[in-house]
Amino acid sequence: MFASGHSAILRQGWDMEMKERIVVVDDDIMSLKIARRVFDRAGMEGRYLSSGDEFSTCLEEEYLPDLFLLDVHMPDVSGLELLRRLRAAPAYRNIPVIFLTGDEDVKTESAGLQAGASDFIRKPFSAEVLLKRVRNTIELRRLHNDMAEEIRVKTEKLSHAYIQIVQALAASVDAKDKYTHGHSSRVAAYAREIAGRAGYSEVELDSIYMMGLLHDVGKIGIPDAIINKAGRLTDEEYAAIKMHSSVGADILKKITDFPELAIGARWHHERFDGLGYPDGLCGTEIPETARIIAVADTYDAMTSNRSYRSVMPQEAVRAEFIRCRGKQFDPRFADIMIQMIDEDTDYQMKED
């Protein structure tokens, strides 16, 4: 299956345009001669070197072959040493190496294979066997590279699709509520910024961004009439709204590869003083990522237009974080939010 499609086209193009290239290093001039004849006849491009010095020059010129054929025993340097040099140079690390050996020494073979040689060919070699084994090794490496590239492209596409699916889901949640347009993506961005300032790694930042995007996904299960009600909510209506955190967690816990998504949804309305919902967790009982999303979520609620008020003045938002640090919010993340507000001198960080 990997020989089909894109990679097959690439390979056809390669076959048409480029000759296979080989570098042979051997102090035995007869062996070099025979090898040159074999590979010339096969239409391959080659460099035929008889010492470690010539080998070093070839590397300095950055000549990149499809395969190295190295004699194990040479007067100035061993084939094993040349292999070690190749494996230490990033450009040459993945080019296959076959050893030429005259002895029957099993130890040499095992050391060579351990150091990363692909194969051994015993001297004196037959032209046919030499060509066949060299071509097989080159073809195997090419298939391996094609597969690795195909996997890389597919993985990239999949992770891109994952982000887009999550964004689409977040947008569909926001679309239910005519007053919270773009809320989820703003909360995701604020949560990412807070976590970044708190020292989270890149991988953790990607994760908290996704948690932010999906923190309100449970609103899918709440009637539009309640979500969009302009006047004061009844106790029952408020209770229904509060259900969105556990509804969201129930939806997201089905995504078992990303358990953190359900954490963000379930606990983003918990309060540091234990007076939040749905579980009334207190302080560090609340997962840290959920404490960060709680800060980001409340910040966005205050800095976007609602049915009952427009964007709050920046001073009032700042005062609210000072007043509620250690009560509603983890003081550590409230302080980071206050720092972000102070740096936002022309109040850009709000709903457009």
Based on the residue annotation, tell me whether 19 is a catalytic residue of this protein: no
**Closest distance to Fe ion from the beta carbon of 301 (Å):** 9
CB-nearer residue toward Fe ion: 20 or 216: 216
**Closest distance to Fe ion from the beta carbon of 188 (Å):** 13
**Closest distance to Fe ion from the beta carbon of 154 (Å):** 35
Q: How many residues bind Fe ion (CB under 5 A)?
A: 1
216 touches Fe ion by CB under 5 A: yes
The SS3 call for residue 295 is: helix
Q: Which helix (H) or strand (E) holds 213?
A: helix 202-214
CB-nearer residue toward Fe ion: 66 or 216: 216
* 121, β-bridge pairs: 100
CB-nearer residue toward Fe ion: 67 or 241: 241
Cβ count near 227 (within 10 Å): 18
> What backbone torsions phi and psi does residue 98 show, to the nearest 5 degrees?
-115, 135
User: What are the start-end ranges of the E strands in the chain?
Assistant: 21-25, 45-49, 67-71, 97-101, 119-122
CB-nearer residue toward Fe ion: 38 or 252: 252
Q: Which residue is nearest to Fe ion (CB)?
A: 216
- Tell me the two tokens of residue 102: 């005259």
Catalytic annotation, pick one of 123, 219, 242, 254: 219
CB-nearer residue toward Fe ion: 26 or 216: 216
> What backbone torsions phi and psi does residue 7 show, to the nearest 5 degrees?
-70, -30
For the chain, what's the residue count? 352
**Closest distance to Fe ion from the beta carbon of 333 (Å):** 17
Report d(CA 257, CA 122) in Å as an integer. 50
**Closest distance to Fe ion from the beta carbon of 206 (Å):** 21
C-alpha separations of 325 from 294, 298, 319 in Å: 12, 12, 10
Q: Which helix (H) or strand (E) holds 151?
A: helix 127-176
User: Taking contact as CB under 5 A, which single stretch among the options 167-175, 211-219, 232-240, 276-284 is the one that binds Fe ion?
Assistant: 211-219
Report d(CA 100, CA 71) in Å as an integer. 5
Q: Which residues are catalytic?
A: 219
Please give the residue ranges that form the binding site for Fe ion (CB under 5 A): 216
